[in-house]
Amino acid sequence: MENQTGNVSSTIPPVVSETCRLLSSFQSFGLLPFALAAILILSLLEKRRYKADVCFGRPGLPLPINFLDGTSNSVANAAAVGCTMQFIIYYMFYYTPNVTFWLKSLLLLFLSFLVSVVFYPIFACLNSSSRMIGSAVGFLYTLLLTLLNFAINLSCTTAGLEWVLAFYSIMFISELYLLGLFAYRFITAVSKKSKNEKESMVKTDQRNHVRDLLSRPKTTLGEKEIHLRQRIVEQSRRVLEEAKLCCLHKNLYRFTTRTLVINTVVFLVFYFNVVLIIISADLIDTVNDRLKSYKYIANLSGSLRSQLLKQFHIFLVVLRVSLILSNILSGVYVVANMILIYRSQRQQLFQLWRGERSFIPPNCKQTHNDLLVKNLMYTGNQVSFLVGGYIFSQFVVVFLCFGIAYFIILPLKKDVPDVFLYPVKIIIPPVVFMLLFTFILRLISGKFFLQNHYLISADGESEEKALALDNRRVYQNLSYFLFFYYILVGFFRCVYRVGISSALVLFHIARLDKPLVIPGFERFDIGYMTYLGFLEVELHHCHPVVLVSCDLMLKSAARKLISSPQQQISLESPVIENNKMDFSNTYTRKTRNRWLKTKTLISNGSLCEYSKTNTSFHNRAL
């Protein structure tokens, strides 16, 4: 929790430097007592289920965020994550601890735990059971954090590092949103215009999903030919409907808290990277201006000096354009991956709900302990994989831009020597020849080596010749002559295969829902195994049919318990049950009463003679 805005240089006045150090020290250690005090207050507002009869069931454990099946407070939780982004970016990319490699992982674990404790009250106040007190504590703690961050960024930002304030603006906007939200909740709670409603076990979207399953399916008309234009229109309409359903409040397609938090973190990292690209563009211009006054270059001869400055200028221009293009294309890449991950995750969850597990490889079985651990990893790993894929794609785009610029564009413009065009002259002719030769072989195979017997193609939309050889001897001779040719050409095809495989792996590196290894070795893909663990936990705890069935059974048992005249008869003292219906209803209550009666008769033998149904105790005592 150190100062993230920049190092305090020696040119800053001592008063400002001392103020910055004091504020940074308070941010590192002074916030912990306030955070622990807020956590203690919030824990007193919650009730526990374990030993609920002790101290009226308090204190309990607050709920910071519900990644399992939470859908409420999604935007507020995303804003709370935005408050932490400055610390996450700092510890992820800029923090370099002076410790051994053995202690670095332990130190990062401790720092992440420290950040979690500092921001725990904000998340817990958003999901507190007491709307009034939780909002008041959240408002005061968020106000303290806002004032502290504002003072640190104002006093510790040195000259030339004003761009760091662009990072802080995200935190400031998130903190202002949370302050307004806490104030609104507190006012509505005091005026009793709003109550903190508890989430029921079954949500409206899950109940509607089960209702749709039980309704009569719509009859479909016979298959008709659909033109390409109609397909495009139907697909576009379907995409728009899905996008609209994702934003509705009570719909099964809506983003969960987990998905919204993941996307928020990735978008904020993208925003920070855009700021850095803008700063790097200005830095490139500064370097280009200072090169002319560099002593070594100034002492060179006129022609050599001008040629060297020209090449430096070309390199910096290519670098600047490459960074801009890489940022744009990588942004499109990460957004496309977010959409594809969401669609794939939803479709595979629907398949699991229907009992279809064909997409899961048979060698990917995990124990229940591993499934819970993988589910804990999924949210953080998905963020890291998306950010990692975004960064890798930037490097690849920069590399491709430099290759296209220096091997194609600049040699053609005569800005660099013609020797840079030599690799293209070597690669392009064989590739073009191979493509033309393959096309000619395809034509020859269709004309002379297939018999004239037509069948419906595999797609069912056209006809093709049957796979029956004609002119068999000519075909065998041709295969003999091409055998030696494809030995020589096979090396280029091997390089092409490696390149295409690497490109596909790079494109899918951000997606945990796609295995990056060959079939049969999916177990060694830790990202894919993490995703499967997440799916299994979601299946067992968020299945709409299971939740609706359990809800119906619990409500039916509650109605029977209320309507029963013996519902208040119990030999136990009343116990506070944390506002939840005790799972032990009429049947278990009778069993418990019988057990307590038996225990009482064993301990007090003189009571056996008054018992009408337990005479065996009386006879045994005699």
Contact between 586 and 580 (Cβ < 8 Å) = no
Q: Are residues 464 and 551 in the same domain?
A: no
Q: Is residue 207 part of a domain?
A: no
- The 10s digit of each residue's pLDDT in 270-312 is 888 888 888 877 777 777 666 666 655 656 666 777 777 778 8
Could you tell me if 132 and 192 lie in one domain? yes
Gap between the Cα atoms of 298 and 314, Å rounded:
19
Residue that terminates a domain, selected from 499, 524, 542: 542
Asked if residue 322 belongs to a domain, the reply is yes
Picking from 542, 566, 600, the residue at the C-terminal end of a domain is 542
Does a structural domain hold residue 211?
Answer: no
Residue 576 lies in a domain: yes
Please tell me whether residues 151 and 276 are part of one structural domain: no
CA distance 136 to 582: 32
* Domain membership flag for residue 223: no
513 in the same domain as 579: no
Q: Are residues 291 and 425 in the same domain?
A: yes
Q: What is the pLDDT of residue 529?
A: 92
**Are 592 and 535 members of one domain?**
no
In a domain, 368, yes or no: yes
Q: Where in the sequence is the domain holding 16, given as residue range(s)?
A: 1-199
pLDDT on residue 198: 59
Half-sphere exposure of 619 (CA within 13 A, CB side): 5
User: Does one domain contain both 411 and 560?
Assistant: no
Amino acid in position 123: F
Q: Do 465 and 586 belong together in one domain?
A: no
Residue 153 and residue 59 in one domain: yes
The number of folded domains in the chain is: 3
Task: State the DSSP string of 22-83.
Answer: HHHHIIIIIHHHHHHHHHHHHHHHS--STTTTSGGG-S-------TTT--TTHHHHHHHHHH
Final residue of a domain: which of 542, 574, 601? 542
Report if residue 248 sits inside a domain.
no
Based on the fold, state whether residues 318 and 432 are members of the same structural domain: yes
For residue 308, being part of any structural domain is answered with yes
The answer to whether residues 386 and 530 belong to one domain is: yes
Same domain (yes/no): 329, 355: yes
Phi/psi region, residue 378 (left: phi>0; alpha: psi -120 to 50; beta: rest), is: alpha
Q: How far apart are CA 364 and CA 356, in angstroms?
A: 15
Question: Model-level pTM?
Answer: 0.74
Q: What is the pLDDT of residue 157?
A: 67
The segments of the chain whose pLDDT lies below 50 read 1-15, 220-225, 249-250, 253, 566-585, 621-622
> Is 317 exposed, middle or buried, given 0-12, 13-18 or 19+ CB atoms closer than 10 A?
middle
